[in-house]
Chains A and B, each alone.
Chain A
Amino acid sequence: MIRRRAVFAALVVGALAALGPVMPAYPLTLITQALIFGILAMSLDMLLGYTGLPSLGQAAYFGVAAYAVALLATERQVGLLGCAAAGIALAAVTAAVFGVIAIRARGTYFLMITLALGMVVWGLAFRWVSLTKGDNGVSGVPRPDLGGLSLSAPLPFFYFTLLVAAAAWALLGLLVVSPFGLGLKGIRGSESRMEALGYNVWLHKYVAFVLAGTFAGAAGVLWAYYNGFVGPTDVQLVTSVEALLMTALGGPGTLVGPAIGAGIIVFLKNFVSVYTKRWLLILGAVYIGVILFAPHGVVGALRGRRRLGAGRVPGG
């Protein structure tokens, strides 16, 4: 089972890598964007799909990492490795602090607290003008070099993003089938039983929360370089909601589903918005359709059909 999934993952990554050179520039940048949001959505899936923690503040860790990269790259001319390390570390520290506050709560209360904490980061981005330049944001973030190789053209940056996304997919994929990941699925099923078995449920959730924040930070690092601009819109509620939508749309608890969900939303957003400003209306319709006809998301529906006889559920 695990080997089959690893082969599948390698095929997907290989196909994307092969498509890169033959693709026109615009779709290529869109796929790059989808990969970045795919990492963000997968990080959220570890919380929502595997642990049962509905976080509505995942943009906070994405955002602080993006700001760290943007500020260090433009004002201090720090290179890729330094920026990435600082961005990911800051995201991890932010998640470590926020986790202490948020993990005490469950269900809707957890959702509301993560929402509030996300708004704190947005408030800082918007109001701490001396650091973040407020509403103007930080612009002119240069694409970095990787060992003398410039990543400024779309194709090298696409390959770099693909590499990071594949690594994140592999690490998260390993994590969810590891003993620790099994513990997360146990928490999703029954916290009281987990406590009785001897698990420190708080600690398990906290570690998952910090790890999810760290992976969201990796996505944020890529985003700062991809967009060349970081502003309050990157940390606002809409970004967190979009990450949650991507996860729900693709299939929570499947890891690959949220990445596909990210692809669907990125493409809808960019293609439909060419024809109408009301692209959110279309997104809403797609979302309602998924809820009605595939409540476990796109991948959940596909896996559910395949395993109907075995009676296995998606995410099991």
Chain B
Amino acid sequence: MAEEFALQLEGVSKSFGGLQALAGVTLAVRPGERRALIGPNGAGKTTLFNLISGSLPVTAGAITLFGRDVTDAPAHIRAAEGLARTFQITNLFPDLTVMDNCLLAVQALTPTRFAMLRPVGAYAGLHASARATLDSVGLEGAGDAVVKNLSHGEQRQLEIALALAGRPRVLLLDEPTAGLSPAESRLMAGLLARLDPAMTVLMIEHDMDIALELSPHVTVLHYGRVIADGPRAEVRRDPQVREIYLGA
């Protein structure tokens, strides 16, 4: 049976000591939906991603993934349920090659990750899958390069590759174009537009053009609360949103 929602948040709150970063966020994302999560700096967008992915525990509320309550599940269990994420601040394995980075992502959800008595090179299936993932993000032929020697743009592409390698059902993209030049941003937008339509994508993006172009549905976060949620045209007209973004 297909679940009605891929991802559901019910009154999710997060406090860091006296600071309330998120106050009762409720949202529901349908399977296959493209959703942009926007809001000014400090609105709590990345914190929300950290709660959804399990990097941080919630203070209150519930998180459901395809009908399964994962509120207390550790990050790796959520990943096994089909949740993948990228990081705003590039989070790769800098001392390893591009191929090894991708192999780590490909083998993560297979029993092979505990295999000890054969070299990684002996697993042709893993390599083929990793190579296909690298090709899909435009990193073909870069497999032997050490990640710390890549350009920032290539590292952002690899961020996406690592998230896609496990064939996730829900993908959280935390500012995929962070630090990219306008030209690189266009390439990234093209890459994101080609993602599997069956995949649910929740995206934080500061580049409003790209955010709205890729996502028909927009949620606006401000000081830890959802202040607007709906189709992009509607949100664009919302007076509160206009005030926050344009100060008018």
User: Complex Cα distance A236/B195, Å?
Assistant: 57
Smallest beta-carbon distance A183→chain B, Å: 6
User: Complex Cα distance A311/B79, Å?
Assistant: 33
Residues of A within 8 Å of B92, CB to CB, are 189-190, 193
Smallest beta-carbon distance A181→chain B, Å: 7
Q: Is the CB of B93 within 8 A of A193?
A: yes
Contacts A193-B92, A197-B79 given; indicate if A182 touches B116 (C-beta within 8 A).
no
Smallest CB gap from B111: residue in A: A179
Across the interface, A316 reaches (CB within 8 A) one of B97, B112, B114, namely: B97
Contacts A180-B113, A189-B92, A311-B146 given; indicate if A195 touches B75 (C-beta within 8 A).
yes
Across the interface, B76 reaches (CB within 8 A) one of A174, A180, A186, A195, namely: A195
User: Complex Cα distance A177/B118, Å?
Assistant: 8
Across the interface, A178 reaches (CB within 8 A) one of B85, B115, B166, namely: B115
Across the interface, A198 reaches (CB within 8 A) one of B108, B118, B123, namely: B108
A227 at the A/B interface (Cβ < 8 Å)? no
- Interface of chain A, helix or strand or loop or mixed? helix
B117 at the A/B interface (Cβ < 8 Å)? yes
A85 at the A/B interface (Cβ < 8 Å)? no
Residues of A within 8 Å of B108, CB to CB, are 194, 197-199
Residues of B within 8 Å of A315, CB to CB, are 95
Q: Is the CB of A196 within 8 A of B55?
A: yes
Contacts A192-B55, A193-B162, A197-B166 given; indicate if A179 touches B95 (C-beta within 8 A).
no
Smallest beta-carbon distance A257→chain B, Å: 16
Residues of A within 8 Å of B87, CB to CB, are 192-193, 196
Q: Is the CB of B162 within 8 A of A179?
A: no
Q: Is the CB of A179 within 8 A of B93?
A: no
Residues of B within 8 Å of A143, CB to CB, are none
A136 at the A/B interface (Cβ < 8 Å)? no
Smallest beta-carbon distance A53→chain B, Å: 16
User: When each residue 162-195 of chain B gets 1 if its CB lies under 8 Å from chain A and 0 otherwise, what string results?
Assistant: 1000100000000000000000000000000000
Residues of B within 8 Å of A182, CB to CB, are 96, 100, 103-104, 107, 120
User: When each residue 174-215 of chain A gets 1 if its CB lies under 8 Å from chain B and 0 otherwise, what string results?
Assistant: 110111111101101110111111111100100100000000
Residues of A within 8 Å of B118, CB to CB, are 174, 178-179
Q: Is the CB of A190 within 8 A of B91?
A: yes
Smallest beta-carbon distance B51→chain A, Å: 13
Q: Is the CB of B76 within 8 A of A201?
A: yes
Q: Is the CB of B91 within 8 A of A316?
A: no
B200 at the A/B interface (Cβ < 8 Å)? no
A100 at the A/B interface (Cβ < 8 Å)? no
Across the interface, B93 reaches (CB within 8 A) one of A174, A178, A180, A189, namely: A189
Q: Is the CB of A196 within 8 A of B79?
A: yes
Which residue, of B79, B94, B104, B118, has the highest number of chain A Cβ atoms within 10 A?
Answer: B104
Smallest CB gap from A173: residue in B: B119
Residues of A within 8 Å of B162, CB to CB, are 193, 197
Q: Is the CB of B76 within 8 A of A179?
A: no
User: Complex Cα distance A190/B93, Å?
Assistant: 6
Which residue, of A193, A194, A197, A200, has the highest number of chain B Cβ atoms within 10 A?
Answer: A197
Smallest beta-carbon distance B69→chain A, Å: 19
Residues of B within 8 Å of A198, CB to CB, are 76, 79-80, 108-109, 166
Contacts A195-B74, A196-B75, A311-B149 given; indicate if A185 touches B95 (C-beta within 8 A).
yes
B105 at the A/B interface (Cβ < 8 Å)? yes
User: When each residue 304-315 of chain A gets 1 if its CB lies under 8 Å from chain B and 0 otherwise, what string results?
Assistant: 000000011101
User: Complex Cα distance A189/B94, Å?
Assistant: 7
Contacts A180-B115, A181-B116 given; indicate if A193 touches B91 (C-beta within 8 A).
yes
A2 at the A/B interface (Cβ < 8 Å)? yes
Across the interface, B96 reaches (CB within 8 A) one of A174, A180, A195, A316, namely: A316
- List 5 additional A-B contacts (Cβ < 8 Å) besides A193-B91, A194-B104: A193-B93, A195-B54, A195-B79, A200-B76, A311-B146
Q: 9 smallest A-B Cβ distances: which pairs?
A: A198-B79, A189-B93, A195-B75, A197-B108, A198-B108, A177-B119, A180-B116, A193-B91, A186-B104
Chain A: residues with CB nearer than 8 A to chain B? 2, 174-175, 177-183, 185-186, 188-190, 192-201, 204, 207, 311-313, 315-316
28 of the cross-chain contacts (CB-CB < 8 Å) are: A2-B121, A174-B119, A178-B115, A178-B116, A178-B118, A178-B120, A179-B103, A179-B107, A179-B118, A180-B115, A181-B120, A182-B104, A182-B107, A183-B104, A185-B100, A186-B93, A186-B104, A188-B95, A189-B93, A189-B95, A193-B91, A196-B84, A197-B84, A197-B105, A198-B109, A204-B113, A312-B146, A313-B146
